[in-house]
């Protein structure tokens, strides 16, 4: 049978664009459908705009620190509208780059929603288009709980486009996005109350990292209330009233929910082709990103494997190599280094102490806590911490964790060492870079 395209990709985020470009480089006829903007969650409404806001949130503290180094800092003020407008200009620029990437690689773009009709057919605005292979890369979407008045709450999507900076914001949730936006709003001068139903923020992270971040956030004025949830949301002329699980109330300007994301598969028509889904709507795939239907594949957050942009890119690239490059490739994803751009930031790779013990390892723990040199001439008390989890039997470093200045930059290099299976002795015999925070990883005894 002759198809309109060799590959039709639904979703032009990081994974879909990479898969399209690589497939096209092998000579495949490729088309992509995107109903919003090319670039996906990361570029348009995720890690990139969020990181720009994170940068903005640090300048107040930086200007305060500058006084200790002899700088006379004059009167300063912050303008939310200017930040959001400048952020939008940069997102437009990146969107254009992604559009150029598709165009320069001869990938046809349909700026419309596509749904699946059958194993080889998609519907784009009433037009039936056929393809030998279909790749679903539609990502995830924020989920909202069933709470009375939830329609008055926002998610991270809307937080990036608020007309005004809230004077007081409540952030519900305890994961990456919740702690990052708490740091953003607090750093920009908003009062922040963070509500989380669990015992400690950042569930699943190493317990020392969790506790250290909570302490630092509180020291920066963020009101963290664990074991607390919202039972009702009411909008009034003066703001929003939250009723909490202890029956107390909280008055805020904005309530933001960061309580999870779900695969964006609703209404996509996957059932028409018989594609198997998990209970949460995630598309089930094998190691090569193929579904139970031979002609349909899926990559990225829609599969709910590891919800990270670089992982989606690796999966998209591996798919193209496998299907169009005659090189079967399953992306190597373990261990995956990652960062949380909280204040202070976190970098982590490999097993936490709890995970290592749960897997039966007899571990040795090495930790270092220190005040970053940058703060020596200031009154800023923030401390950093590094931690290694080591298998006593083999001396292999099972996990490396850091919280503090430059953690995200430092953990990338450490991630290579952990993935390579290096030992604590390898770390110890590596010459330290002094003075730096990174040197702590090779000095812990």
Kindly list the catalytic residues.
434
Give which of 296, 412, 345 is closest to 183, Cα–Cα.
345
- Give the Cα separation of 230 and 249 in Å (integer): 9
Cα 274 from chain centre: 30
**In this structure, how many other beta carbons lie within 10 angstroms of the beta carbon of residue 204?**
9
Q: Is the peptide bond before 335 cis (omega within 30 degrees of 0)?
A: yes
Structure tokens at 291: 């579904």
Q: At what angle do helices 207-219 and 176-187 cross, to 10 degrees?
A: 20
- Tell which residue, 251, 10, 234, has the closest CA to residue 116: 10
Q: Which of 122, 394, 102, 145 minimizes the C-alpha distance to 261?
A: 145
CA 158, 278, 5 angle in degrees (round to 5)?
Answer: 80
DSSP state of 371: -
Name the residue with tokens 């605005």: 125
Q: What span, in angstroms and rounded, lies between the C-alpha atoms of 422 and 437?
A: 20
d(CA 177, CA 47): 9
Structure tokens at 405: 């200045």
Token readout for 356 is 């290592």
């Amino acid at each position: 049978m002759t198809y309109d395209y060799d590959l039709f990709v639904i979703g032009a985020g990081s994974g879909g664009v990479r898969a399209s470009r690589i497939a096209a480089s092998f000579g495949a006829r490729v088309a992509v459908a995107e109903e919003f903007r090319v670039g996906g969650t990361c570029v348009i409404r995720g890690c990139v705009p969020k990181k720009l806001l994170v940068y903005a949130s640090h300048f107040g503290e930086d200007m305060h620190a500058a006084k200790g180094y002899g700088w006379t800092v004059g009167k300063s003020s912050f303008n939310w509208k200017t930040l959001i407008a400048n952020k939008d200009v940069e997102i437009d620029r990146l969107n254009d780059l992604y559009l150029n990437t598709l165009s320069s690689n001869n990938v046809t773009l349909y700026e419309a929603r596509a749904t699946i009709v059958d194993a080889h057919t998609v519907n784009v605005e009433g037009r039936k288009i056929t393809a030998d292979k279909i790749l679903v890369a539609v990502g995830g979407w924020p989920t909202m709980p069933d709470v009375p008045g939830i329609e008055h709450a926002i998610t991270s999507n809307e937080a990036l486009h608020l007309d005004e900076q809230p004077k007081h914001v409540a952030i519900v949730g305890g994961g990456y996005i919740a702690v990052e936006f708490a740091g953003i709003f607090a750093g920009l001068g908003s009062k922040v109350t963070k509500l989380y139903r669990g015992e400690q923020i950042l569930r699943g992270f190493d317990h020392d990292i969790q506790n250290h971040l909570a302490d630092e956030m509180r020291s920066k004025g963020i009101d963290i209330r664990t074991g607390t949830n919202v039972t009702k949301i009411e909008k009034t002329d003066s703001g929003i009233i939250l009723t909490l699980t202890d029956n107390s109330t909280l008055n805020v300007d904005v309530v933001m929910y960061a309580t999870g994301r779900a695969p964006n598969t609703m209404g996509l028509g996957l059932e028409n082709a018989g594609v198997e889904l998990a209970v949460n709507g995630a598309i089930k795939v094998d190691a090569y990103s193929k579904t139970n239907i031979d002609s349909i594949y899926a990559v990225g957050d829609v599969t709910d494997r590891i919800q990270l942009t670089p992982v989606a890119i690796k999966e998209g690239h591996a798919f193209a190599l496998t299907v169009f490059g005659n090189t079967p490739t399953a992306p190597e994803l373990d261990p995956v280094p990652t960062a949380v751009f909280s204040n202070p930031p976190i970098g982590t790779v490999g097993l936490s102490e709890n995970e290592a013990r749960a897997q039966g390892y007899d571990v040795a723990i090495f930790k270092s806590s220190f005040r970053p040199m940058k703060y020596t001439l200031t009154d800023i008390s923030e401390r950093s911490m590094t931690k290694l989890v080591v298998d006593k039997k083999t001396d292999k470093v099972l996990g490396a964790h850091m919280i503090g200045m430059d953690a995200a930059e430092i953990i990338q290099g450490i991630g290579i060492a952990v993935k390579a299976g290096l030992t604590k002795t390898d770390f110890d015999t590596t010459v330290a870079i002094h003075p730096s925070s990174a040197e702590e990883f090779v000095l812990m005894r």
